[in-house]
Amino acid sequence: MTRFLIEKDGVYYLTTGKLLTYDRGRAGNDQQKKDDVDRVAAEFERICNLPHTWHKAVEISDAQFIAVNTGQSG
């Protein structure tokens, strides 16, 4: 399965078929959640520092944008 780890404004998102969110601001007082956000952030940085790991991504803000899905990856 191809997965993507995305960072935007300090919040991390992981695609796993669903879009998982890792947001320290929403972790509240849950230390396990805070630790997991830190773990995801560290993995993101580790991968970013490897050669040849950058892929382009864009944000689609136009709510009218639609397209027919050609299948599922993974």
Give the DSSP letter of residue 22.
E
Residue type, 71: G
* Alpha-carbon gap, residue 49 to 39, rounded angstroms: 16
Answer whether residue 71 shows pLDDT above 70.
Answer: no
The phi and psi torsions of 12 (rounded to 5 degrees) equal: -110, 140
* Alpha-carbon gap, residue 16 to 3, rounded angstroms: 6
Query: Looking at residue 45, what is its pLDDT?
Result: 93
Going by C-alpha positions, the residue among 32, 31, 7 that lies closest to residue 21 is 7
Tell me if the pTM is above 0.85. Answer: no
pLDDT tens digits along 5-63: 888 888 888 887 788 999 999 999 999 999 999 999 999 999 989 998 877 777 777 77
